[in-house]
Every structure is written in C-alpha cells, then in structure tokens.
C-alpha cells in the first residue's frame, strides 16, 4: 500500500518536472507543446481506486499549473481525464485479463492500447484548450494548437510506452 503511494508520488514528480523544466519550452512551429503527463493515467492498473486516481491526477495537474502560470487548466483537465479513465479502461480491457492488469500494449493488444491512450489524451487536451480559450481566444490558432499538441503528445507517449515494454 505505502509502496504504491510512493510509486505514484514518484511518477507525479517525474512527469511534472519533465513537463515544467523541459517540455513547456517546446513550441513546435509555434503551436505544438507536448503534454505527455497524461501517461500517469495510462499507467494506472485496472483495479486502482477511482477516487484516489482523481486526487492524484488533480495533484499532478495542479503542480504543472503552478509552474506554468495556467492555474486550474491542467488540474481541471487531468481530473476530467481521470474520471473517464476508469470506465474507459474497464470497457477496453480484455475479458480474460488479470484483476490488477497494468495497461500496456502487450496486456491489452496494440490497437486497444493505442485507442485507450488517444481517447484519454483527447479528453485532457480538449478541456485544456477549452479552458485556455477563456484567457486567449483565437479560434483558428486554438484549433491548430489543440490538434498539433494532441498529435505530438500521443506520438511521444506511444513511443515511450513501446520503448519501455519493448524487448
């Protein structure tokens, strides 16, 4: 139990540090900023606690918000993505999997896993950029940013997952 707690805390800190120190500086073509910290939700096992997941996701979002002057944006988006994560994983997990399955492309199948990652990231990015439109509204720029960041995040996340679980 306590081990899981530390593991989550470690994941939160590493993902937040990566985002704040490195990835926030990237603005590919002036539009795309990768936000692969949604990986935190991807790493949650099937039998994890739903409310706990949401609290962790909120915490991760809050840390990132505080460091990037976007109060509330990442935390709100991560909380929503965490809400979606639980039913989504239960719907897309294979019927015969173990109870504490950790979603990877080997445990879920390549296509299932990719779809799972894309939907989670889509939910997160959609709310993030919607909230951003409160402080900056320029429809064309926002849509380009949204699509470009989404694509970049998904590619980064899938690449990382593939490398991590590769042989």
Partner 1 sequence: MNALSDKLKNWGHWIVFLILEVASLVLLFRFNAYQGSVWTTQANDVVGRVLEGRQRLIAYSQLGEANRQLTEMNLQLQSELDVVRHRLAELEHDSSATERAVASQLAGIHRIPAQVVSNSIRDRENYITINRGLADGVENEMGVVCGTGVVGIVYQAGQHYSLVLPVLNSRSSISCRLHDTEYFGYMKWNGGSPLLAFIDDIPRHAKIKVGEMVETSGFSSVFPAGIFVGKVRRILNSDDGLSYKLEIGLSTDFARLRNVSVIEGNPQFPAEPQNDEEEEE
Nearer to partner 1, 55 or 98 (CB): 55
Distance CA 136, CA 138 (A): 7
Residue whose C-alpha is closest to residue 104's, from 146, 155, 166 = 166
Nearer to partner 1, 86 or 105 (CB): 86
Contacts to partner 1 from residues 89-128, by CB under 8 A? none
The answer to whether 160 and 36 have CB atoms below 8 angstroms apart is yes
Contacts to partner 1 from residues 19-58, by CB under 8 A? 21, 24, 27, 30, 50-51, 54-55, 58
Render the burial of 21-41: b for 16+ CB within 10 Å, e for the rest: eebbeeeeeebbbbbbbbbbb
CB atoms closer than 10 angstroms to residue 146: 20
**Residue 143 touches partner 1, criterion: CB under 8 A:** no
Member of 76, 123, 152, 157 binding partner 1 (CB under 8 A): 76
Residues binding partner 1 (CB under 8 A): 21, 24, 27, 30, 50-51, 54-55, 58, 61-62, 65-67, 69, 71-73, 75-76, 79-80, 83, 86, 131-132, 134-136, 138, 141
């Amino acid at each position: 139990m306590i081990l899981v707690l530390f593991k989550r805390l470690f994941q939160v800190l590493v993902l937040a540090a990566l985002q704040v120190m490195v990835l926030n500086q990237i603005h590919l073509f002036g539009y795309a900023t990768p936000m692969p910290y949604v990986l935190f939700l991807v790493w949650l096992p099937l039998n994890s606690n739903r409310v706990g997941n949401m609290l962790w996701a909120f915490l991760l979002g809050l840390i990132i918000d505080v460091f990037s002057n976007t109060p509330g944006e990442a935390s709100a988006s991560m909380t929503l993505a965490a809400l979606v994560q639980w039913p989504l994983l239960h719907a897309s997990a294979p019927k015969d999997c173990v109870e504490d399955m950790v979603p990877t492309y080997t445990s879920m199948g390549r296509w299932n896993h990719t779809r799972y990652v894309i939907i989670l990231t889509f939910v997160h990015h959609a709310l993030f950029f919607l909230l951003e439109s409160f402080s900056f509204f320029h429809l064309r720029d926002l849509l380009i940013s949204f699509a470009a960041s989404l694509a970049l995040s998904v590619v980064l996340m899938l690449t990382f997952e593939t490398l991590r679980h590769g042989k």
